[in-house]
Structure formats: C-alpha cells, structure tokens
Chains A and B, each alone.
Chain A
Amino acid sequence: MARFESVTGKYVYLDVQGVEYRVYFEENGRGIPLVCQHTAGSDGRQWRHLMNDIDVTSLYRVVAFDLPYHGKSLPPESVEWWKEEYMLHKSFLFDFHTEFIRALGLERPVYIGCSMGGHLAPDLALERPDAYQAVIGVEGNICSPEDPMRMWMYHPKISNDFRMHTMMSMMGPGSPEKYRRETVWEYGQGAPFAFRGDLHYYFAEHDLTGKTDQIDTSRVGVYLMAGEYDAAVSPVEGRALADSIKGAKFTELKGLGHFAMCENYGLFKTYLMPVLKEIAGKP
C-alpha cells in the first residue's frame, strides 16, 4: 500500500506590481491560515515538517509558497529576466504577500518566516499591520549590516556547492545530520543568482533602526525567535529586536541554528507550539 501525505500542491496566478507570476504553493490542515515564508535562496520545502505535523494542522491551515524565481515558481513569462540582475525588494515582498492572501481568500492569517522571512516579520508588522493578525519572525534582526560574503554568493567560478557548505555551518551541531544535509540540498538547487539577489532585501533594504517603536502590537502580534547557533542573527540580536518592540515576545532557540524549522523540527516544535497555541487562543 503506497504511503501518501495529505499535503497538496498547486499553482496560482498572481499579479504583483503589474507582472503575472505562476506561483507554486503547498498546503495542509484546517483552521487559521498560517503563511510560511522561506529563507533567501531556498524554497517552501523548508516547511515540510511543520506542514505534516497534525498538532499544527489540526489548528492551522499551513500554506507555504515558493517565491517567483525559487523552487517550482518559474520566472515570469512576460519579463526578459536574463537581461537584468535579479534583486528582491521589500516592496515586492509586501505586494506579493498582499496578493497571495487575497488570491487564496485567507482570513486573519498568521505569518511565519525565517531569516529573510524573519526580517520580513517586523517589516510587515510595521508597514502592513493589517495583513496578518500575528507575525512570527525566526532569525529576524533590526538591521543586518552589509556583509562582503554576499558578493561571493554568486560568482561564475563558484558553484552552488559553496552555498550548500556555507549554510551547513549555520546550524546547530546537535541537529540531525540527515536534516542538516536536506536543508543544504535545497541551497544546491536554487538558481545560481537567486540567493545573492534575495540578500539585497536582507542586507540593503531591511533596516528598522529607529522605527521599531512604531510597531503596534495591539494591531498585529509580534513573536520573535533566534537560534543559539545562528551566526547571522544571534539570540543577543534577536532579543534586542524584541526588546525594542513594545509587546513583542522573544524565545531563544537553544541548540538550534539558522534553519530551525528544517534542521531540527522536533526541537523547534517545543518552542513553536506554545506560540501557535497562544495565537490560536488554545493554551
């Protein structure tokens, strides 16, 4: 007897900033919509463990997409993308999320995102406070100063191998090797330029310096988390972001690194479930 998951995948056509995108997404569960944003240079597969967890899917309709140019979401047909440098912009992310929520008819959704998605959580809370009822930012920071390493994330002489094995060292040493390897596998599959292009938002456009006190957590709940082993955003930096937002809640992810949801979901779940239950009003 074949074994099937209850996760389903399909495509939706979204018009974002005047361009039509064919966007792949997967979903599972019933309840409050939980929209999952993947990290820079990867795709929605990072959320597969969460999406298959009945403790989550009995409370939430979990939805994870691949951003255009990532995973199964191809570049748009109407753009000669091979003639311009790919760069991800904050305004695109905002408009993409707005359009995705509208197209799927999601009511009072909750957002969760990691790394680039972790940065996006407080950005959404500040600039699109009505898009989500709550945001969960994993590995978000007030600002990530430009890192010269970014320029090496696309280089004609250097393969995706490099991106795989840089990311390998961003995870907790106690995370199961099979899942650390799976996480970097996804980095081996991205378009060569996608990671660096995504990091444009991460390094150059995300900057909440002096703005976090404007986030109103009575309109949108803000939950922040940072992994003990994340060299990109340490718990010190994650906590500083949370402390700067009145009403935000912070969880340190002991033993975890940059990719909590896919490097060691079992451990991540112990930190995440209380947050998901609180948002769902099911203590």
Chain B
Amino acid sequence: MAIRFLNPKETESVRSYLNGDPEFKLASRYVLTNILLEVGNSRCVVKVREGQVSELAANPVFFDACSFFVRGSEDAWNKFLQPVPPPFYNGLFSAAIRQNFQIGGNLEDAFSYFWALTRMLDVFRELQNK
C-alpha cells in the first residue's frame, strides 16, 4: 500500500486535507513543532504552526529539524492505516505500549501535543482510505 503522506506528489493535497479538519485545527491551535514520521526507511517532517500544517516535507534533509518522532515499520504503518486496524494498531498509544511504534525525541513536546499528533494520524488514516 502506497502511503499517501509520504508521496511527494500528494504533499499539497495531504496538507490541505489535514488543514481542513476541524478537530486537527482545534487540537493544534497552540502547537508549534516539527514532527518526524518514519515509515521503515522513508521519512517525512510535518511542520505545525498554530492550527495549520505549514509544510509537509517528504524526504526531509538535515535542516528539517524535528522535535520528536513516531517510528514504525512499513508493516506496522500499513496495519495502523487500515480502515479498521487490528488490535494494538488502532491508536498511537496502544501501538506504542505494545512496541509496534516508537515515540522518541523530545517527549515533553510529543506528549504536550498528543491530541494534535493523534488527530493528525487519524486524519492520515481517513485520507488513506478515501
């Protein structure tokens, strides 16, 4: 399954879809951070600025610094992004405590912004299955 948020050709449509989500807008309105998503060997950085994704950088370079990351194998992400995910892939926290995903970097930021982060991933699932 081609993961849409990693595809450079879909960057703008993914960003626009996410920015149109009312819950993400609410959850991220005080958020100022860069989030690294790692899917196997592929990566992208999501830059969130006060209720909006200002940039979604697929294939980031060294100056796309991030505060924290969410890391999982391609298989784990594919399970997570299914319309009805299997147990322990249905949410970031449950996947993390079962060690299917890793959350790392600045955990104070990751956990302070957890609502925005989890909503973003839920929107990615929604978009993946449209």
Contact A169 B91, CB 8 Å, known A161-B114, A162-B114, A232-B97: yes
Which of B90, B97, B111, B118 lies in contact with A155, CB distance below 8 A?
B111
B107 at the interface (CB under 8 A from A): yes
A residues in contact (CB < 8 Å) with B: 147, 149, 152, 155, 157-159, 161-162, 164-170, 172-174, 228-232, 234, 257
Given that A155-B111, A229-B90, A229-B94 are contacting pairs, would A168 and B84 also be in contact in the complex, using a CB cutoff of 8 Å? no
Q: By the criterion of a CB under 8 Å from any partner CB, how many residues of chain B are at the interface?
A: 20
| Interface of B toward A, CB cutoff 8 Å | 84-85, 87-88, 90-98, 107-108, 111-112, 114-115, 118
Q: How far is the CB of A111 from chain B (nearest CB, A)?
A: 27
- How far apart sit A192 and B84, CA to CA, in the bound complex (Å)? 32
For B96, B97, B111, B112, the residue with the greatest tally of chain A CB atoms inside 10 Å of its CB is B111
Q: Given that A152-B107, A174-B84 are known contacts, is A159 also in contact with B112, CB under 8 Å in the complex?
A: yes
CA of A130 to CA of B111 in the docked complex: distance in angstroms?
Answer: 43
Whether A170 touches B94, Cβ cut-off 8 Å, given contacts A165-B114, A234-B87, is yes
> Does more than half of chain B's interface fall in helix, strand or loop, or is it mixed?
helix
Given A231-B97, A231-B98, A232-B97; A169-B111 close (CB under 8 Å): no
Residue of A nearest to B84 (CB): A173
Across the interface, do B115 and A161 meet the contact criterion of CB distance under 8 Å?
A: yes
Q: Are B84 and A157 in contact (CB under 8 A)?
A: no
Main secondary structure of the interface of A (DSSP, over half): loop
Nearest chain A residue, comparing its CB with the CB of B121: A169
The smallest beta-carbon distance between B8 and chain A, in angstroms, is 29
Asked if A157 and B94 sit within 8 Å, CB to CB, the answer is no
Instruction: State how many angstroms separate the Cβ of A94 from the closest Cβ of chain B.
Output: 28
| Chain B residues whose C-beta falls within 8 Å of the C-beta of A168 in the assembled complex | 91, 93, 118
In the docked arrangement, what's the CA distance between A172 and B59, Å?
Answer: 33
CB distance from B105 to the nearest CB of A (A): 14
> Known: A168-B118, A170-B93, A229-B87. Contact between A158 and B108, CB under 8 A?
yes
Among A152, A155, A174, A231, contact of B94 (Cβ-Cβ < 8 Å):
A231
Cα A177 to Cα B29 with chains together (Å): 22
* A169-B94 in contact (CB<8A): yes
Whole-angstrom distance between the Cβ of B84 and the nearest chain A Cβ: 5
17 further A-B contacts with Cβ under 8 Å, apart from A165-B93, A169-B91, A169-B118, are A149-B93, A152-B107, A157-B108, A157-B112, A158-B108, A158-B112, A159-B112, A162-B111, A162-B114, A164-B115, A165-B118, A169-B94, A170-B93, A173-B90, A229-B90, A230-B87, A231-B87
